[in-house]
């Protein structure tokens, strides 16, 4: 597809328009603007916001003011932000986020994941709790496990709507299954077990719910079938397995995530090509259904991630 000149900042080199629009309703710089406005206790002057963005991102520091104004106009037309003069402030125009813009932030997992690195995990946990409860059912009184190549707390609810008790006698029934190349990272409220994609040391039909966090994306493709068979074996008939994986997309955030995770001491992938494998939702569904059966998988779009929920047939 022919690329056209765009007023969107910094995206011309990274995205084809049709692919971009299929994944995001707003782009990264627009989300950054919404994020800044959401943290401000008062409306923000346009000029100050432009100066801040230029100083924070060197890749856009040479962009003309007209590019920024085009973005403000776009967000205004979408009713994500509103503009207003403030008495006593001269002719300056100020921006503030709307409830619709705040909703866009809450629904954008892009924003939630980026907020991890800014110490805003409470907002992320609240959002993921909602996703968990809506699609997996409340975990209270359920036997559940988590499979992750690394400490999974940043991607799974610590509690199910704060109702899963942390009694000591619960620990044998709450499992975090680490892949063999991961260090023994202590995860509060969970019992850590070493596992391989072909052997998870738990009984058959033991769990009501199992959450697999980025595991398919970090193991070798030749291990998919074994791992999926183990996941299916562990849950009881009618039980659900949630697979959270990264969607195929291109952005500065993915590059940063690759570098960051490969820098963790407890995250050391043992495969030919280090880093995450990205999936199209259709490919992820096909891979899971090859073991769980046709029609067993429900896909949920989480923007830069996809949640696939597989139900073990009765």
Q: How many Cα neighbours within 13 Å face the side chain of 97? A: 20
Residues 87 and 154 occupy one common structural domain: no
Q: Are 53 and 33 a contacting pair, CB within 8 Å?
A: yes
Please name which of 308, 305, 309, 307 lies closest in space to residue 23, comparing C-alpha atoms: 305
Among 106, 130, 160, which residue terminates a domain?
106
Which residues lie below 8 Å from residue 36, measured CB to CB, with a gap of 6+? 44, 49, 52
Give domain status of residue 4, yes or no. Answer: no
Number of domain units in the chain: 2
Give domain status of residue 156, yes or no. Answer: yes
Give domain status of residue 3, yes or no. Answer: no
Residues 52 and 140 occupy one common structural domain: no
291: left (phi over 0), alpha (psi -120 to 50) or beta: alpha
Give domain status of residue 11, yes or no. Answer: no
- pLDDT (tens, 9 = 90+) of the chain, 314 residues, equals 333 333 343 333 333 334 333 334 567 788 889 989 998 888 999 999 999 999 888 878 888 899 999 999 999 999 999 988 776 666 788 999 999 998 887 766 555 555 555 555 566 667 667 777 888 888 877 888 888 876 555 556 666 766 766 556 666 667 888 877 666 666 666 778 888 899 998 899 999 999 898 889 888 889 999 999 999 999 999 999 999 887 776 555 555 555 555 544 444 444 545 567 788 889 999 999 999 999 999 998 776 678 899 999 98
Q: What is the CATH number of the domain that holds 166?
A: 3.40.50.150
Residues 21 and 130 occupy one common structural domain: no
Among 55, 82, 106, which residue terminates a domain?
106
- Predicted structure pTM score: 0.67
Give every strand in the sheet of 174-178, ordered side by side. Answer: 191-194, 174-178, 144-148, 207-213, 235-246, 305-311, 297-302
Please tell me the distance from the alpha carbon of residue 152 to that of residue 172, in angstroms, as a whole number. Answer: 18
Residues 280 and 307 occupy one common structural domain: yes
Residues 218 and 144 occupy one common structural domain: yes
Count of H helices and E strands in the chain?
10, 10
Q: How many Cα neighbours within 13 Å face the side chain of 282? A: 0
Residue found under tokens 């949920």: 300
Assigned token pair, 233: 């074996």
Among 106, 135, 153, which residue terminates a domain?
106
Give domain status of residue 83, yes or no. Answer: yes
Please tell me the distance from the alpha carbon of residue 254 to that of residue 136, in angstroms, as a whole number. Answer: 27
Q: What is the pLDDT of residue 9?
A: 39
Q: Is 122 exposed, middle or buried (0-12, 13-18, 19+ CB in 10 A)?
A: exposed
Residues 47 and 125 occupy one common structural domain: no
Please tell me the distance from the alpha carbon of residue 105 to that of residue 25, in angstroms, as a whole number. Answer: 11
Residues 171 and 33 occupy one common structural domain: no
Residues 215 and 155 occupy one common structural domain: yes
Assigned token pair, 5: 């000149």
Q: What is the CATH number of the domain that holds 42?
A: 1.10.10.10
Q: Which domain holds residue 27?
A: 17-106
Q: What is the pLDDT of residue 181?
A: 65
Give domain status of residue 112, yes or no. Answer: no
Q: How many CB atoms lie within 10 A of CB 276?
A: 18
Helix then strand then coil, in percent of the chain rounded to 5, is 40, 20, 40
């Amino acid at each position: 597809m022919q690329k056209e000149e765009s007023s969107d900042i910094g995206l011309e080199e990274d995205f084809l328009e049709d692919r971009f629009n299929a994944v995001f309703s707003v782009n990264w710089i627009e989300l950054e603007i919404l994020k800044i406005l959401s943290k401000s206790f008062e409306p923000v002057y346009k000029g100050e916001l432009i100066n801040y963005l230029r100083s924070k991102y060197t890749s856009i520091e040479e962009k003309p003011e007209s590019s920024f104004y085009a973005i403000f106009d776009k967000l205004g037309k979408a009713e994500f932000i509103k503009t207003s003069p403030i008495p006593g402030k001269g002719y300056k125009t100020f921006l503030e986020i709307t409830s619709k813009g705040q909703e866009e932030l809450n629904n954008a997992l892009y924003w939630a994941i980026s907020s991890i690195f800014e110490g805003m995990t409470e907002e992320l946990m609240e959002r993921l709790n909602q996703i968990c409860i809506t699609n997996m059912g409340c975990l209270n009184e359920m036997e559940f496990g988590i499979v992750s190549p690394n400490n999974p707390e940043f991607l799974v609810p610590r509690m199910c709507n704060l109702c899963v008790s942390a009694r000591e006698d619960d620990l044998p029934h709450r499992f975090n299954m680490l892949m063999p190349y991961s260090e023994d990272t202590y995860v509060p409220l969970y019992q850590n077990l070493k596992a391989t994609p072909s052997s998870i040391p738990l009984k058959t039909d033991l769990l009501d719910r199992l959450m697999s966090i980025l595991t398919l994306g970090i193991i070798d493709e030749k291990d998919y079938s074994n791992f999926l068979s183990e996941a299916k074996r562990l849950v009881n008939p009618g039980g659900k397995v949630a697979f959270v994986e990264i969607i195929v997309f291109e952005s500065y955030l993915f590059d940063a995530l690759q570098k960051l995770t490969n820098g963790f001491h407890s995250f050391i992938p043992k495969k030919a090509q280090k880093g995450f494998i990205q999936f199209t939702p259709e490919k992820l569904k096909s891979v899971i259904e090859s073991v769980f059966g046709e029609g067993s998988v429900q896909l949920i779009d989480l923007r830069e991630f996809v949640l696939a929920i597989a139900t073990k047939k009765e």
